[in-house]
Structure formats: C-alpha cells, structure tokens
Amino acid sequence: MIKVLPIFSSVESQVDFSKYELQFKALADQKRLQIMYELTQKGSVCVCDLVDIVNMPQSKLSYHLKILLDANLITKETKGTWSYYELNHEEVNRLLSPELCCIFRKSENQSSGCCS
Amino acid sequence: MIKVLPIFSSVESQVDFSKYELQFKALADQKRLQIMYELTQKGSVCVCDLVDIVNMPQSKLSYHLKILLDANLITKETKGTWSYYELNHEEVNRLLSPELCCIFRKSENQSSGCCS
DNA sequence: GGATTAAATCAAATTATTTTGATTTAATTA
DNA sequence: TAATTAAATCAAAATAATTTGATTTAATCC
C-alpha cells in the first residue's frame, strides 16, 4: 500500500490561530472594550444595570456580551431572571501584556506584578 | 456668562480605546496572524517572496500588509522596487502577553524573559 | 527611451458584522 | 393564573471588511 502525502505549494503554518482570531475579534471593538472596562471597575454587573452604564439598547448589549462570552473573555452567572457578567481575568492575563491587562484591573489591585 | 456643562446619562469611559481597536482588528484575522508568524520565522521578507510563503495573490497580501502596517504591528523598508516587511517586536510585546509574544519569537530567542 | 518587474491602488462584487425593533423565553410577583 | 420584568433570540436593514482582477506607479534593466 502506497501512502500519498499531500503536497503543499509552500510552508504551512504550524500554529492554529483560529482561537486567537476569535478572541482578537472580540477585542476588536471599542464598545466591547468599554464593556470589559466597566466590568473591571464594577466587578460583577447585571445586564439591566450595564444597559445604563454603557448606554446601549438591551438587545445590542446582549449581542456584544455574547461575543465576549464566546471568546471566554467574560463569564456569566444567572440568578433568577438576572444575568451577572464578570471579566475573566485569567484569560485576559493569558492573552494581553501586563501593560494592557492593567487597564482591565482595579486600581487597588495594580500593585500585583504589572502596572509598574 | 453661564457655562453649560454637558450632562452625561451615565459614567463615561475614561480610556480611549480607539488605538487598541485598530490593533486588535489587525490581529483579528488568521491570515494576518500567519503573515506575522512567517515574518517572525524569516525575519525580513519582501512581498514577492511572501506571496509564495503565505500563498496569496499579490493585491490581497498588499491589503493585509497595509492593515498590519497601519496598526504598527509590522514595519516596512523599501529597497528599489522591493518592499521588505518585518515584525515590530516592540509593539507586539507592548500589546500581547509573554505567552502569546512567544509565538511571534524565533525559537533561539525564546529564552529571554518569556516562553518558560 | 522602451520593456520588465515589484508593489500599491482602485472599483465592483462578495461576504461578514452590527444595528434595530419586535418577539420569545423564562423567572418572579401580585 | 395573569401580569411583570430580565434577558436572549430573530429577521431585516444598514455598515463594514474582504476578495478579485485590472490598472497605476515607480524603480530597474536592456
């Protein structure tokens, strides 16, 4: 039995960038960065409050929250009819430089590690 | 004279995210991440070679290179009719975590700082 | 100068993302 | 149970990003 190997016309990338594409897409929007920033400042926020904080119609906010959630940049906890969203610091730290993480860190916690 | 201050319906974001939006948009594409990866591996590459490396039509590659260049993620040097592109390591380091920067660093240089 | 090559630009077509307002789902309250 | 509230979903419209192939710009070579 002869195995026919696929022939590539050029060097193929060894790294799978699809996960990063998804995450950078989520970050690639000022509105979503602001949502992340507000979650940083306020900790855990429910959608009904976030609507006023970021001044967005509910369905629009829901759309953007979903994109951030799918990218694992925020987490969600449901309590009754309320949904509380929080920043996923672990994932943000995994992705962004200390300098940038800093933006998504409350001032009282900025002494730990980064934000020199 | 009475000064009328603008009234905001909610807390406004103190941070200007427009620069980050531009940079994350540039990163938010597998093709562009691959271009960055190849520039990492090969150092300085001219467009005519890169066309074969990433297997893209010239005008398409030119479009994506411009997006990366505008985001300051790569640099360009023109020699005669050739254009040589290089990764802007400084800016990539400023933006991404050590873990991610690692992807955009040649293996022989991975001992310095990150890539544990 | 004329031909050749590299790379940028352009306009049109295609594809993807975002916005909008209405509707649905589901939990809570009276 | 009916009314209310929170949040997700949906479909259509509006915007934005990408692809394509042709054209342009500009440097080099004969």
pLDDT tens across A54-108, in order? 999 999 999 999 999 999 999 999 999 999 999 999 999 999 999 998 898 876 6
Write out the residues of chain A at the interface with chain B, using a CB-CB cutoff of 8 A.
9-11, 13, 15, 17-18, 20-21, 24-25, 27-30, 33-34, 37-38, 52-55, 93-101, 103
Instruction: Tell me how close the Cα of A1 comes to any Cα of chain B, in angstroms.
Output: 32
Q: How many helices (H) and strands (E) does chain A have?
A: 6, 3
- Reading chain B (116 residues) residue by residue, the pLDDT tens digits are 444 444 343 445 578 999 999 999 999 999 999 999 999 999 999 999 999 999 999 999 999 999 999 999 999 999 999 999 999 999 999 999 999 988 988 766 665 555 64
Q: Which residues of A in 12-71 have their CB below 7 Å from strand C's atoms?
A: 25, 28-29, 31, 57-60, 63-64, 67
Write out the residues of chain B at the interface with chain A, using a CB-CB cutoff of 8 A.
9-11, 13, 15, 17-18, 20-21, 24-25, 27-30, 33-34, 37-38, 52-55, 93-101, 103
Tell if the CB–CB gap between B33 and A20 is shorter than 8 Å.
yes
Q: Which two tokens stand for residue B103?
A: 């992807």
User: Minimal Cα distance from A99: which residue of B?
Assistant: B94
Tokens 């970050």 locate to A27
Q: Which residues contact B109 (CB under 8 A, 6 or more apart)?
A: none
Please give the angle made by the CA atoms of A72, A77 and A79, to the nearest 5 degrees: 165
Distance between CA atoms of residues A66 and B58, nearest Å = 36
Instruction: Report the greatest alpha carbon distance in chain B.
Output: 67
Domains of chain B: 38-107 (1.10.10.10)
